Structure 1
Amino acid sequence: MPERPDYAALTRGQIAVLDRINAGETGLPVVQRMVRLAQDVLGGRGAGFVEYLPGHGRIIAATGACAGAIGRRVDRADSRLRGGRTLLVPLNSLNDEFARQIEGGDLHRMLGARCEVGDTIVGSLHVYFGEDDEEPGTEHHAVLELLATHLGRLYAVQPDLPVAGDADQARRQENRDLWVAVTSHELRTPVTVIKGYADTLKNHWDSLGDEGRQEAVRVIGARAGELARLLDRLLSATSEDGEIGGGPAGPFDLPETLRSAVDELPADLRRRIVLHDVPAELPKAYGERDSIATIVTELVTNAEKYSPPDTPIELCAALDGDTLRFRVTDRGIGIQPEHVEHAFERYWQAGSADRRRHPGAGLGLYLVRRLVERQNGWVSLRPRAGGGTTAEVRLPRA
């Protein structure tokens, strides 16, 4: 860390951000640029911004050593930041999940500043330093306070902020109405197929032969699994706290579980899956093994929905510090940066045209986040370089 902040980089960076805003860039991309600027100017190993929601916060932008934490739900830090505008904290004195997560590297100190709109704290900006770095001085505190003030001001004037805030009541009611209509359709489809194949088995058992009977049973089983996953989505969506039932947590083999989840997918979808860089062995993950099939199905189905039928859907897994991660990547239309958090809301879809092209109840990604966070993990979306979307899930290492 330099002895003083890089004021030349601060000036250039602020001008660049203003230029982007004047060019029409809004919301999350601007926040991400501000976070990068904080890391660069203060010479940190990483930086992050936590947007505050009622009762908790979420890391919506991060750079450097903290980049893997995007999407992480964290405790609100109001009480720590109420005394002064900035606060320097040794990481080993913190008890929140995010601090423990990034402590796995050589990070040693966190300098944080609250971002306010009037008397409301809308978030907090954090820069992380290594053990060999000097302690940030008064100038570092002042610069971070300046950048946090800019972020607070953005929240006061930009329509795309907050990124993950509550939608207005009219839109919520509209989405509920849509949910009722589309869910009725989604329930009817697997039930109709199951009934049709069951009637075929009953009325044509002898003429089908062994191969025909086995195929009918396979289709019934696949559609029953689809119906069960849909019911999970409905149960989680109709609960205000989002709680859904699940099996006991424990260590499990992530690569083997991912391969099993792919094997359960419908054949036409399974053919598109490329198991890219899924090691034969990894340290055990800790969580609910049975939930992984639902998570993979939702992410892969989402990728299928928004990508051309002749393009691959890649699935990879790796160890990353104290977490195991897996990614589902498509080469479709991609997701706008300002939509990455809205995509996890109940009933949310990008717009009416999107609903017509890609019908659905808007519950899949909501369910994924609930399942992953229940296991002390987190999930995030981001645009893929070259087009498409990458969904990343991180789970604790056993």
Structure 2
Amino acid sequence: MVDARGPVDATAVFGGLAEIAEQLSTGDGGLPALQRTVDVTVDATGAAGAAFVEYGHDSGRVVAAAGALDWSLGRPVDLIHPTLRGLLQYGSRVREFPVDLLGTVGGEHLRGRGLHRFVAAEVTAGKTAVGVLVGGYRDTEGTAGAGERAALAFLAGLVGLQYSLGRGLPIHEGGPVLDPVGEPFALLDADHLVRTWNPAAALLTARSPEAAIGEPWPFPLPLTSGGSVAGAEIVEHQMACGTWIQIRAATVPGSADIAVSFRARADQPSDGRDLFIALTGHELRTPITVIRGYADTLVEHWESLDEGSRREAVYVVGQRARELSRLVDRLLNAVGDEATPGDASALLPFDLIDTLTTAVDDLSPEQRRTLAVSLPQSLPKALGERATLATILTEFVTNAGKYSLNWVQADLTAGADEQSVWFRIADRGIGIRPEHVERAFERFWQLETGDQRTRGGVGLGLYLVRRIVERQHGWVSLRPRQGGGTVAEVRLPRADADALGEA
């Protein structure tokens, strides 16, 4: 095997490290320092691209990316899957693996972008695993040399230090640092005897590592009829204490060991119900009051109103009715259970340019006046749900105006790469701080407490946009715009991406 490492630009590496040190020493940090660390990872390891994936309660998400992986910003990643957990917890701290081990969909997607292998290092803050730092490479036959591994391990340690300082990290509220229990994980040998039993597993099962290691795995495993591990299956089991757990397992690549991830089955969430009722009650009451007032005026004073007054009243009623309709749709989606990606067979190819053009025509006159549309003549077809694009665009444009002074101009653009079709709304509003780019997608979260009163809204718009997009196997991200403002971007799969990957 050859070491694919190219020459390292020492000036870029040490210059970047100096910038990070200065940010941390002055009390800053957060996402800007994290992003700079990912930039340095590309320079220090010779990788084509790098990314940091922050762990969450249910999955990971790319919160910083550079180089050939910059397109992945905001993308969800199933880092709890036992295949990846096994790779990260088995053997040395820095692990290397081909993209094929990420599964059929993930492997094909990355190969389609010219990436064939990854080097990864799990990041810990104290004893808490907070995420994984990865470098992606384009060659298929290379392997990570000592220099690449040492550089990645050092930079992973630097990210861990940033999380330990807690200056704007974790990115997600309730993220890994706020959830130190982590994910229960076990490593079994070929005879299903426990080799590794992490603290989270001990906490969930009330069985210490000393009592578990060396003993047979105590619960069922997802197995095929032939007795091998069924990596795509989940089995549920009720422990003696009455707690139901969900179990996934996969064979660790390059060994006969079995990686097992398991967790308590989630109950139907009820958090936020009172807040939901309070906020939505207010937001529903406002358009209903306006509609009723203008409708009563038209009924009771039709003869005394001139033509201009009648038209104005009808216009306001229509505008508020559309607002009410959108709000009801958002509320119904918010209480639904459609957060998981949908069946790919239910997604259909559609023309993004034609769909966006139609959606722009459906915006209010005020929104259309402040939106500069610059779309190409044509793009490859996207795969998804055409009807949802109008909702997504409306939310983006509404936010652009809501957080701008006097509705400054926003720009709508679109494009495509080998695997995805995308569109962006870039505004020149008050902008968004880096530490808020992920929190903005949380339910009920708004920019500032005061803004909830002055600008209205229930804090559901971007939350629902992310649900809608991820249901279509796409992803959405926010980032500060250079020079001020915010860029909101949606990426959907290309309808012909599979064919391109096979070419």
TM-score by length of 2: 0.71
Query: Is 2:263 the partner of 1:166?
Result: no
Secondary structure of 1:95's aligned partner: helix
- CA distance 1:271–1:114, change in 2 (3 Å): same
Per-residue deviation, 1:354 = 3.2
- Give SS of 2:447's match: coil
**Higher fraction of helix:** 1
CA distance in structure 2 between the aligned counterparts of 1:313 and 1:380, rounded to whole angstroms? 17
Contact 1:69–1:98 under 8 Å retained in 2: no
Q: How much does 1:123 deviate?
A: 0.5
The offset of 1:386, in angstroms, is 1.3
Task: Determine the structure 1 residue equivalent to 2:220.
Answer: none
- Which residue identity lines up with residue 131 of structure 2 in the other structure? G
Specify the alignment match of 1:328 in structure 2.
425
- Per the alignment, do residues 120 and 98 of structure 1 end up closer, same or farther by CA in structure 2, a change over 3 Å counting? farther
Structure 1 residues 206 and 95: CA distance shift in structure 2, 3 A: farther
User: 53, 58, 63: which one pairs with 2:66?
Assistant: 63
Is 1:251 the counterpart of 2:346 in the alignment?
Answer: no
Q: How far apart, CA to CA, are the structure 1 residues paired with 2:384 and 2:140?
A: 35
Q: Which has the larger radius of gyration?
A: 2
Paired letter, 1:79? G
User: Between the two proteins, what is the percent identity of the paired residues?
Assistant: 47
Residue equivalent to 2:85: 78
Aligned equivalents of 1:244 and 1:75: distance in 2? 12
Matched ranges for 1:173-212 at <5 A: 180-199=277-296, 202-203=299-300
SS in 2 for 1:112: strand
Which residue matches 2:47?
Answer: 44
Alpha-carbon RMSD: 3.2
1:266 aligns to what? 364
Paired amino acid for 2:87: R
- CA displacement at 1:232 relative to structure 2: 2.7
Q: Supply the AA of the counterpart residue of 1:146.
A: F
| C-alpha distance after superposition, 1:170-198 (max 9, x if no partner) | xxx99876654442232122222333444
Q: Which residue of 1 aligns with 2:134?
A: 126
Output the CA distance in 1 between the equivalents of 2:18 and 2:141.
28
Q: Which runs of 5+ in 2 are unaligned?
A: 180-269, 496-503
Distance 1:245 1:2, change over 3 A: closer
| Residues 1:358 and 2:455 are matched in the alignment | yes
The question of whether the paired residues in 1 share the 8 Å contact of 2:6 and 2:46 is answered with: no
Instruction: Report the equivalent of 2:35.
Output: 32
**1:105 to partner: Cα distance:** 2.7
Distance 1:297 1:362, change over 3 A: same
- Structure 1, unaligned stretches of length 5 or more? none
Q: Note the alpha carbon deviations across 1:242-279, whole angstroms, 9 max, x for none.
A: 57999x53111111111221222222222211112x12
User: Is 1:388 matched with 2:395?
Assistant: no
**Partner residue, 1:345:** 442
What is the Cα deviation at residue 114 of structure 1? 0.7
Aligned equivalent of 2:393: 296
| TM-score w.r.t. length of structure 1 | 0.88
Q: Answer yes or no: is the 8 Å Cα contact 1:372–1:393 preserved in 2.
A: yes
2:147 matched residue in structure 1: 139
2:54, 2:132 within 8 Å by CA — same for their partners in 1?
A: yes
Residues 1:81 and 1:281: Cα distance change in structure 2 (over 3 Å): same
Cα 1:224–1:53 shift into 2, 3 Å: same
Q: 1:385 offset after TM fit, Å? A: 1.2
The equivalent position to 1:285 in structure 2, one of 358, 378, 382, is 382
